[in-house]
Amino acid sequence: MSKIKVKIFNDYKLMSKTVANEIIKRISKKPEISISLPTGSTPIETYKILVKESKKLKLSFSKVKFFQLDEYLGLSKENSMSYYYFLNYYLFKHLNFDEKNICVFNGLTRNLEVECLFYEEELKKTNGLDLILLGIGNNGHIAFNEPGTPIKAGTRVINLSLQTINANSRFFKNIHDVPKYALTMGIAEILEAKEIFLFANGENKAQAVSNALYGAVTKNLPASYLKNHPHVTFFLDKKAASYLN
Ligand code: PGA
């Protein structure tokens, strides 16, 4: 039996509000929290609420240690398709993060090994993240850990799967513009976090969510590795939960 807690919400808005409030609670309790937050369509409403509520509460992010979950290879921070750009657009520029507490990937690095080692070292200094929020790919990936990723995989370069390239092409003008490679936090580091949230909305996530919860722990569905962790909560809208019993 999986120890994963599952919370189901009537709609995306309610799911987003709850996730934002759970993040706020943890930052209020531990201002120096180390945290990793994702990009994509799923987090947009959560981040809008997080920013609005944090401002209302005058919540300080100045001590929050932020780690980027993943980044496309070959895109600069200024490129509007980069994940850094997304995080800056929805989070960094609105909240008073201290730049020195933000650990991000350099998508333009020419030395991949050094880039990954630097990131891993920074992560080690935090002694494992306090909280990671994850989306889930419709192929079951978490961060950019694609199907086939071994459980012990660390921070590294990944060859994006065709399914992910197809899914993410909706953000680009042309599918050929979607980068083929990315940098990602590994499964090993994700599982070292003290607490993990995964959120998903929409029917296109229902199969992956159900397989992650009910299926075997397998490298073919990286989200299933979360079953090995004692403190995981899934936040789902009704559609993403539609294949659950
Ligand atoms: P999405 O991406 O939020 O855009 O659906 C999630 C993911 O691929 O991890």
What value does the mean pLDDT take over residues 26-54? 98
pTM over 0.95, yes/no: yes
Q: State which of 136, 234, 236 you would mutate to test the pocket of ligand 1, scoring each by most atoms of that ligand within 8 A of its C-beta.
A: 136
The pLDDT of residue 245 is 87
Tell me the CA–centroid distance for residue 178 and ligand 1, in Å: 14
DSSP bridge partners of 233: 5, 197
pLDDT higher than threshold 70 for residue 66: yes
* Mean pLDDT value of segment 69-97: 98
Phi-psi region of 57 (alpha: psi -120 to 50; beta: other; left: phi over 0): alpha
pLDDT, residue 128, reads 87
Query: What average pLDDT is seen over the chain?
Result: 97
In this prediction, residues 88-101 reach a mean pLDDT of: 98
Contact predicate 187/153, CB 8 Å:
yes
Q: Residue 127: its pLDDT value, please?
A: 86
Least trusted range by pLDDT, from 124-128, 134-138, 202-206: 124-128
Residue 40 CA, closest ligand 1 atom number: 4
Task: Check residue 2 and give its pLDDT.
Answer: 75
- 42 Cα–ligand 1 center, Å: 6
Which percentage of the chain shows pLDDT scores above 70? 100
Task: Categorize the per-residue pLDDT at 1 as very low, low, confident or very high, splitting at 50, 70 and 90.
Answer: low
Which residue owns the Cα nearest ligand 1 atom 2? Answer: 40
Cα 131 to its chain centre, rounded Å, is 10
Catalytic residue selected from 71, 106, 115, 141: 141
Distance of CA 124 from the midpoint of ligand 1 (Å): 26
Q: What pLDDT, in 10s, does the model give residues 211-227?
A: 999 999 999 999 999 99
Q: What is the 3-state secondary structure (H, E, C) of the chain?
A: CCCCEEEEECCHHHHHHHHHHHHHHHHHHCCCCEEECCCCCCHHHHHHHHHHHHHHHCCCCCCCEEECCEEECCCCCCCCCCHHHHHHHHHHCCCCCCHHHEECCCCCCCCHHHHHHHHHHHHHHCCCCCEEEECCCCCCCECCECCCCCCCCCCEEEECCHHHHHHHHHHCCCHHHCCCEEEECCHHHHHCCCEEEEEECCHHHHHHHHHHHHCCCCCCCHHHHHHHCCCEEEEEECCCCCCCC
* Closest ligand 1 atom to Cα of 168: 4
Alpha carbons 155 and 189: distance in angstroms, whole number? 8
Please tell me the predicted confidence (pLDDT) of residue 90.
98
pLDDT in tens, 173-186: 999 999 999 999 99
